[in-house]
């Protein structure tokens, strides 16, 4: 992308009184966290989502699902924020009003210094009772439990039944409050920045669709393109390459 286009994009973001940033797995790809739908490296190319990421799958094979999430927790634990996460955090610091909404279950935005992140799909580091036995998700600190790693999932300290990761699985509802805040922001913002999402998973994908339907500038940072790239302003580059350039230009405006 030439310098003039980078500057124009930075100017559009700066001129917008309210910006929504919407991120997906591609935002963490350069940190070494695999995406879901990239043809060769995506998790859903190797694993079957229906066998691993639904409440039905967990009931049918709790150990398989728990252990798979432990494997993914390991990947996330070893990951560090990349230049794209850092640039988004910088936008949040320099711009008066940005809402960051992510589909990601890692905490790399927070590690990069993002002051506030709406997590639509939960947080993989957290654990809760599969039955929500204490009411709305009561988180359990795994480090305080002693359990046999071969005998998983570990039992809930309150009811003795299964623990599970605090993520949203297919066929489950997203938090109403989080979704409402994200949709309201999409209805009101003046520009949107999509980063690293295929834009196919609903209801999350409605966020950029609302922006497009309203005719506001929507930038789509994605080296391979998303389902919405044609309607948006597509930036066919990795987030960690292009976003620092945009923020460098932004800081000079």
Q: Closest CB to ligand OAD among 168 and 189?
A: 168
Among 224, 236, 251, 253, the residue binding ligand OAD under the rule CB under 6 A is 224
- Our finding on whether 245 is near ligand OAD (CB under 6 A) is no
Please state, in angstroms and rounded to a whole number, the distance separating the CA atoms of residues 252 and 32.
Answer: 31
Residue 166 touches ligand OAD, criterion: CB under 6 A: no
Between 92 and 106, CB nearer to ligand OAD = 106
Q: How far is the CB of 118 from ligand OAD (least distance, A)?
A: 13
Site string for ligand OAD, 46-85 (x = CB under 6 A): ---x---x--------------------------------
176-205 residues in contact with ligand OAD (CB under 6 A) are: 195-198, 201
Distant-in-sequence contacts of 8-13, Cβ < 8 A, 24+ apart? 9/219, 9/233, 9/235, 9/246, 9/249, 10/246, 10/247, 10/249, 10/250, 10/253, 11/253, 12/191, 12/217, 12/219, 13/91, 13/95, 13/191, 13/193, 13/246, 13/250
- Among 13-21, 61-69, 184-192, 219-227, the segment contacting ligand OAD (CB under 6 A): 219-227
Question: Is residue 236 within a helix (H) or strand (E), and if so which, with residue range?
Answer: none
> Which of 9, 16, 34 is CA-nearest to residue 250?
9
What is the CB neighbour count within 10 angstroms for residue 99?
A: 21
Q: Does residue 31 belong to the site contacting ligand OAD (CB under 6 A)? A: no
Q: Is 85 in the active site?
A: no
Q: Does 220 bind ligand OAD (CB under 6 A)?
A: no
For residue 82, the minimal CB distance to ligand OAD (Å) is 8
Give the one residue of 210, 239, 246, 247 binding ligand OAD; rule: CB under 6 A.
Answer: 239
* Residue 91 CA: distances (Å) to CA of 15, 28, 184: 13, 17, 20
Task: Report the C-alpha gap between 38 and 67 in whole angstroms.
Answer: 23
What is the number of helices (H) and of strands (E) in the chain? Answer: 11, 9
Residue 222 interacts with ligand OAD (CB under 6 A): yes or no: yes
Q: d(Cα 214, Cα 40) in Å, to the nearest integer?
A: 35
Catalytic residue among 121, 158, 202, 224: 121
User: Which 3 state secondary structure label does DSSP give 40?
Assistant: coil
- Our finding on whether 152 is near ligand OAD (CB under 6 A) is no
Residues that bind ligand OAD (CB under 6 A): 24-26, 29-30, 35-38, 42, 49, 53, 103, 121, 167-168, 195-198, 201, 221-224, 226, 238-239
Residues labelled catalytic = 121
């Amino acid at each position: 992308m030439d310098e003039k286009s980078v500057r124009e994009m930075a100017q559009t973001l700066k001129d917008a009184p309210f910006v929504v940033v919407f991120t997906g797995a591609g935002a963490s790809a350069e940190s070494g966290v695999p995406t879901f739908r990239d043809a060769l490296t995506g998790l859903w190319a190797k694993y079957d989502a229906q066998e691993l990421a639904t409440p039905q799958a967990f009931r049918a094979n709790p150990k398989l699902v728990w252990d798979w999430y432990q494997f993914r927790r390991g990947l996330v634990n070893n990951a560090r924020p990349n230049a794209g996460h850092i640039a988004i955090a910088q936008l949040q610091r320099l711009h008066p009003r940005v809402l960051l909404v992510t589909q990601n279950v890692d905490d790399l935005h927070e590690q990069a210094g993002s002051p506030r992140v709406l997590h639509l799909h939960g947080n993989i580091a957290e654990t809760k009772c599969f039955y929500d036995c204490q009411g709305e998700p009561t988180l359990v600190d795994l480090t305080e439990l002693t359990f046999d790693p071969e005998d998983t999932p570990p039992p809930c300290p309150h009811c003795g039944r299964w623990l599970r990761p605090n993520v949203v699985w297919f066929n489950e509802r997203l938090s109403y409050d989080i979704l409402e805040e994200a949709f309201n922001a999409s209805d009101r913002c003046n520009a949107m920045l999509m980063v690293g999402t295929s834009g196919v998973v609903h209801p999350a994908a409605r966020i950029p669709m609302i922006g497009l339907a309203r005719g506001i500038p929507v930038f789509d940072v994605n080296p391979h393109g998303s389902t919405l790239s044609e309607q948006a302003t597509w930036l066919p580059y990795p987030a960690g390459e292009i976003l620092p350039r945009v923020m460098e230009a932004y800081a000079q405006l």
